[in-house]
């Protein structure tokens, strides 16, 4: 078996890249598809549940798949600068690939709370970080205006179609592992590029005759940041899940098409439901994810309780980012304060038997 060489090398014939685009890589992709050890036991219906653990990408989130393709295209067209608006994960990924590609990187952040783990990544990779007052949508608008005015600048948000090209490879990997598509695919939705990309991947594999089953795509937003569910932009989105704290998704149209064409739907979950799933994944499945990643798990729990998932269904849930992306949330929920004892076995036994 050949060693993994990255998303572009693995799937280049299925990516709409120029012939002269380089095989840029940080060895993104090839993330594990893990069968549930506990979630399936806690839910009715004898479900087959798998986690696509995207937190094991180079910068700790699924963003790397699309970013590598966007940067390969940027290099092919001789761009010298990249820009993105971000709630954190896009910034970290863009900055890493900019460093690899030797391009300058400008990151526009919405004013307010950004998880420090993500901000630290972007800063370490040398990005120029600018905080824009107001919600994410203000930062996104400015990034688009800047890229439109300056041809040497590549916009690397998910409105860039090459981002979607790269992100669809996760669907290829799932199908290659399972031998077919799942019955349902659950995932968090923020800027909505991921659900758009997964559906594109499944659809292309089906059209190529590589899978017979195309899953129903089911996206979940946080209750305080659920513009697609509510059918209107949210001017002041609020949720503990910072990665999906977006009030006007850039890929809204593509996400709606993915749900409608696949027979899927959108729903919302509360912050309490997200955090409960976040704890469950860490303590029962051994998977440390950022809070936004748990939205798909919280959503599946809700839909099983409603009776919307047929018994025996095969389900994939995307876990979008690693828990170390947001260490502050983890320390709030499980403060890492040790129990102090003296150097005696008696005291240690008293602690472990309490």
pLDDT tens column, 201-255: 999 999 999 999 999 999 999 999 999 999 999 999 999 998 899 999 988 999 9
3-state secondary structure at position 92: helix
Is the confidence at residue 118, as pLDDT, over 80? no
The pLDDT score that the predictor gives to residue 243 is: 87
**pLDDT over 90 for what percent of the chain?**
86
Whether 148 has a pLDDT exceeding 90, the answer reads: yes
pTM reported for the whole predicted model: 0.93
Neighbours of 158 (CB within 10 A): 27
Q: What is the mean pLDDT of the chain?
A: 94
Considering Cα of 304, then 305, then 306, then 312, what sign does the dihedral take?
Answer: positive
Whether 112 shows a pLDDT value over 70: the answer reads no
Tens digits of per-residue pLDDT, 157-170? 989 999 999 999 99
From CA 89, how far away is CA 119, in angstroms rounded? 9
- Measured CA to CA in angstroms, residue 176 lies from 19, 45, 115, 202, 326 at distances of 25, 25, 34, 11, 31
Q: Tell me the pLDDT band of 47, cut-offs 50, 70 and 90.
A: very high
Q: Report how far residue 250's alpha carbon sits from residue 247's, in angstroms, rounded to the nearest whole number.
A: 10
Predicted confidence at residue 175, as pLDDT, reads: 98
Beta strands in 236-350 (DSSP E): 265-269, 314-319
**pLDDT tens for each residue of 285-324:** 999 999 999 999 999 999 999 999 999 999 999 999 999 9
Closest CA to 77 of 18, 11, 160: 18
Which DSSP category does 293 fall into?
Answer: G
Taking only the tens place, the pLDDT of each residue in 90-100 is 999 999 999 99
Looking at residue 283, what is its pLDDT?
Answer: 96
In the 3-class helix/strand/coil scheme, how is 99-131 assigned residue by residue?
HHHCCEEEEEEECCCCCHHHHHHHHHCCCEEEE
Integer angstrom CA distances of residue 2 from 6, 10, 47: 12, 10, 33
Percentage of the chain lying above the pLDDT 70 cut: 99
User: Are the CB atoms for 186 and 299 separated by under 8 Å?
Assistant: yes
Tens digits of residue pLDDT in 4-43: 999 999 999 999 999 999 999 999 999 999 999 899 999 9
Q: Is the pLDDT of residue 155 over 80?
A: yes
Provide the 8-state DSSP code for 61.
B
What pLDDT score does 328 carry?
86
d(CA 41, CA 53): 19
pLDDT at 113 over 70: no
Question: Tell me, what's the pLDDT at 132?
Answer: 92
């Amino acid at each position: 078996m050949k060693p993994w060489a990255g998303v572009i090398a693995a799937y280049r014939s299925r990516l709409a890249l120029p012939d002269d685009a380089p095989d840029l890589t940080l060895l993104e992709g090839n993330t594990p598809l893990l069968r549930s050890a506990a979630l399936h036991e806690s839910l009715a219906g004898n479900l087959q549940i798998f986690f696509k653990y995207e937190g094991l990408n180079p910068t700790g989130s699924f963003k790397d798949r699309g970013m590598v393709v966007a940067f390969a295209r940027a290099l092919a067209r001789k761009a010298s600068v990249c820009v993105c608006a971000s709630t954190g994960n896009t910034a970290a990924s863009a900055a890493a690939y900019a460093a690899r590609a030797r391009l300058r990187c400008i990151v526009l952040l919405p004013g307010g709370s950004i998880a420090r783990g993500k901000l630290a990544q972007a800063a370490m990779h040398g990005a120029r970080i600018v905080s824009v007052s107001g919600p994410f949508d203000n930062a996104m608008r400015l990034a688009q205006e800047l890229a439109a005015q300056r041809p040497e600048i590549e916009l690397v948000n998910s409105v860039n179609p090459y981002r979607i090209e790269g992100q669809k490879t996760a669907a290829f990997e799932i199908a290659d592992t399972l031998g077919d598509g799942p019955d349902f695919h659950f995932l968090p939705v923020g800027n909505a590029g991921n659900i758009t990309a997964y559906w594109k991947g499944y659809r292309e594999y089906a059209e190529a005759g590589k899978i017979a089953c195309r899953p129903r795509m089911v996206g979940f937003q946080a209750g305080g940041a659920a513009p697609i569910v509510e059918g209107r932009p949210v001017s002041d989105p609020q949720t503990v899940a910072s990665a999906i704290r977006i009030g006007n998704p850039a890929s809204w149209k593509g996400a709606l098409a993915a749900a409608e064409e696949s027979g899927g739907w959108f729903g919302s979950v509360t912050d309490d439901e997200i955090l409960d799933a976040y704890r469950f994944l860490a303590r029962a499945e051994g998977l440390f994810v950022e809070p936004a990643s748990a939205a798909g798990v919280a959503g599946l729990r809700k839909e099983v309780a409603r009776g919307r998932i047929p018994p025996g269904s095969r389900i994939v849930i995307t876990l979008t980012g690693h828990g170390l992306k947001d260490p502050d949330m983890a320390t709030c929920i499980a403060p890492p304060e040790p129990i102090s004892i003296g150097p005696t076995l008696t005291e240690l036994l008293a602690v472990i038997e309490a």
